[in-house]
Structure 1
Amino acid sequence: MRYAKLGNSGLDVSSIGLGCMSYGAPSTGDHSWTLGEESARPFIRQAIEAGINFFDTANAYSGGTSEEILGKALQDYGVRESLVVATKIFGRTRPGPNSLGLSRKAIMTEVDASLRRLGTDYIDLLQIHRWDNRTPIEETLSALDDVVRSGKVRYLGASSMHAWQFSKALYTARIHGLTQFISMQNHYNLLYREEEREMLPLCADQGIGVVPWSPLARGRLARAWDETSARAETDEFGKSLYGSHDQPIIDGVGAVAESQGISRAQVALAWVASRPGVTAPIVGATKEHHLVDALRAIDITLTETEISSLEAHYTPRAIAGFA
């Protein structure tokens, strides 16, 4: 396993992060395809044994049970101090006002709730899951700075938003002497490359680490165009992200995979991992070969000809994943 600094910070993360949205009680939240605790734990152990030290979840995943499953596993395996535990706040976790967004009240409440579910004293990387149009950014940044200074959080990150919004947050934190963001978790893969226009250049300029979510496009890049999966059939959010114009790109992934004698997933992940500025793609795993593919992908070098063939059929897309 290789490790790299996350952005301009001193924090070392593995070249692959394990995304834990796939783990949670199927009866809670919006994803009926998630794995419960007993089924999820082997994947967490497999990741740790492979050298992955970066684990990503969110307070809203499966009604908070994703955080609970990850936290219990890390406690039982006794490896908490050597790992980077990342979670996110913004989504609604309970009914009523002040249960959504990035107000001071919501941040303070949700950080404490995540700590309880994770069973830990601190969060290594706290990420704002989305931009909150209802709360002044100064209030959000001040509250985030306070949770860092309290010792409950070590570092701050952000997730999908417009580049102008992230730029505003970076600038506002800087001029007020508040804790800076070190990472951006954005939607980026062969089927969605709009981040190359503004967000990725912004992150490169500002020394922000990039940890893309959905590097396999919710599994679409890991299988042939005419194949499907249980998740694909029930993932309503995923259905809104991609369309029929993706087929030539998916077919191209298949052609490179066949020529190299490797899996489609390895091709797609190798492409994302090799992109300038990308630190660690966030990969989900619900089958044993998912992590095997991810680990092999970081050692695959694609030729310029292969990269050109993978990128040739991309056309501009509407903003997807957060707007």
Structure 2
Amino acid sequence: MGGSTSASPCSSYQPSPSTVPFQRPPSRFKDINKNHVRLDLNSMVSTLVSDLGSVDINLKKQRSGLLKKHRDSQYRLVELQLVVRFPCFTMTGTPPSLFTMPPRRRANSVRCGKATQVSGETHRVTEKNGNDSLDICRVLNGMWQTSGGWDRIDRDDAVEAMLRYADAGLSTFDMADHYGPAEDLYGIFINRVRQERPPEYLEKVRGLTKWVPPPVKMTSSFVRDSVNVSRKRMDVASLDMLQFHWWDYANTGYLDALKHLTDLKEGKIKTVALTNFDTERLQIILENEIPVVSNQVQHSIVDMRSQQKMAELCQLTGVKLITYGTVMGGLLSEKFLDTNLNIPFAGPPLNTPSLQKYKRMVDAWGGWSLFQALLQTLKGIATKHGVSIATRCR
């Protein structure tokens, strides 16, 4: 790997506690519940990844007082680096994005460009583990915005936007049972595709959803009924991917739930996956011979915890990682360059749940001043290559 990585040890990826209510919301397009997800950042890294070059920036004064001792070693950073390459994954995209775990070699390059250039087989990957596989786009369209906090969702406008994304080649959609009307919108969208697009077009469309049940007894009938609700809302005979989340690791019912989900692969689910599971529980799941194809976790240039033991386990077992928060809800952009959010009304408003969430991450990582130094460095690299800060090219 180009450059050195300084990171506090991360034995497990901590899931995000959430204020989302346990009960499944009904189908609706108005009065969407507001979800505010907060992540406890218990482990951060100090090496910043970019595919565009390597730059050293002097931040000794700004880092004063930020570095602490970790266990028996001094958690020390001589310099922040933008690493030339990272051989373990390929990461791209503003919405949730896939990075695979090949052997130690540089991944095939992906050229950034206009949306109309996205279509093509080189921009698709296969989620595969054992006998289970699913072909999806490298860049996923995340639908958290439909869950509330981003203003009212207009059904027709949302479906038209989904069609435009799919027409441009971005035909994989990531949603959840608690993302407001996301599954219902997908159901309307997929019917439009069936009626207005050729059969080969439909073959490229994928709908990935999540199931976030309450930590109750996971019986076969409860699991089956919950899956049927998503199937009905999405208007599909079989879910392309069901990503499972669990609230309380002290309750080992997650193993029962996953076993019941595996039983439903005969016709109601094509692939079973996880979301926000930590490394320890992922290993337990695999040791119980439960075939999961992926784990969706948070990853960005600021939060690279999943590159630690989680990435190592995934590389050994073939489980893929789907990442969200790649550009931190928009904070990693020119819009927030040279701004001071400590002064009221001095910068762009943090008026969405995602901006508020990732601003808390910045505060835990090192603060807004340090983040400004990062944005300035990224801007210099982006300008050199004729792209925006949020764009990653190879």
The normalised TM-score by structure 1 is: 0.70
Aligned partner of 1:319 in structure 2 is none
Match of 2:176 among 58, 68, 75: 58
Tell me the amino acid that sits aligned with residue 257 of structure 1: A
1:206 corresponds to 2:306: no
Tell me the amino acid that sits aligned with residue 87 of structure 1: T
1:103 corresponds to 2:226: no
Match of 2:362 among 229, 239, 242: 242
Aligned partner of 1:186 in structure 2 is 297
1:21 corresponds to 2:144: yes
Assess if the C-alpha contact under 8 Å between 2:242 and 2:271 holds in 1: yes
Aligned partner of 2:330 in structure 1 is 219
Aligned partner of 1:155 in structure 2 is 271
SS at match of 2:125: strand
Assess if the C-alpha contact under 8 Å between 1:100 and 1:106 holds in 2: no
SS at match of 1:52: coil
The normalised TM-score by structure 2 is: 0.58
Assess if the C-alpha contact under 8 Å between 2:244 and 2:275 holds in 1: yes
CA distance in 2, matches of 1:102, 1:50: 43
Aligned partner of 1:261 in structure 2 is 386
CA distance in 2, matches of 1:163, 1:234: 25
SS at match of 2:192: helix
* CA drift at 1:189: 0.7
Higher-Rg structure is 2
Assess if the C-alpha contact under 8 Å between 1:129 and 1:160 holds in 2: yes
CA distance in 2, matches of 1:258, 1:89: 41
CA distance in 2, matches of 1:109, 1:252: 51
Assess if the C-alpha contact under 8 Å between 2:133 and 2:293 holds in 1: no
Tell me the amino acid that sits aligned with residue 178 of structure 2: A
Assess if the C-alpha contact under 8 Å between 1:101 and 1:132 holds in 2: no
SS at match of 2:328: coil
* CA drift at 1:20: 1.5
Tell me the amino acid that sits aligned with residue 37 of structure 1: R
SS at match of 1:186: strand
CA distance in 2, matches of 1:102, 1:30: 29
Q: Deviations over 1:110-138 (max 9, x none)?
A: 21111111111110010013454234343
| Identity within the alignment, % | 18
Distance 1:221 1:81, change over 3 A: same
CA distance in 1, matches of 2:168, 2:358: 29
Match of 2:261 among 119, 144, 169: 144
Assess if the C-alpha contact under 8 Å between 2:215 and 2:248 holds in 1: no
CA distance in 1, matches of 2:154, 2:357: 21
CA distance in 1, matches of 2:355, 2:215: 22
CA distance in 1, matches of 2:327, 2:303: 10
* CA drift at 1:51: 1.6
Distance 1:138 1:220, change over 3 A: same
1:1-323 mapped onto 2 (5 Å cutoff): 1=119, 2-8=123-129, 9-22=132-145, 24=146, 29-33=147-151, 35-62=153-180, 65-78=181-194, 80-90=202-212, 99=214, 103-104=218-219, 106-130=222-246, 132-133=248-249, 134-149=251-266, 151-172=267-288, 174=289, 178=290, 180-222=291-333, 223-225=335-337, 226=339, 227-229=347-349, 231-232=351-352, 236-243=356-363, 244=367, 245-266=370-391, 270=392, 300-301=393-394
SS at match of 2:303: coil
Tell me the amino acid that sits aligned with residue 125 of structure 1: M
Bigger relative contact order, structure 1 or 2 (CA pairs below 8 A, ≥6 apart)? 2
Assess if the C-alpha contact under 8 Å between 2:150 and 2:352 holds in 1: no
CA distance in 1, matches of 2:151, 2:361: 18
Distance 1:259 1:165, change over 3 A: same
SS at match of 2:271: strand
SS at match of 1:6: strand
Q: Deviations over 1:260-284 (max 9, x none)?
A: 2211221xxx2xxxxxxxxxxxxxx
Q: More deviation in 197-206 or 243-252? A: 243-252
* CA drift at 1:30: 4.3
CA distance in 2, matches of 1:36, 1:137: 35
CA distance in 2, matches of 1:220, 1:155: 33
Tell me the amino acid that sits aligned with residue 209 of structure 2: T
Structure 2, unpaired ranges of 5+: 1-118, 195-200, 340-346
CA distance in 2, matches of 1:38, 1:15: 26
* CA drift at 1:82: 3.1
* CA drift at 1:106: 4.6
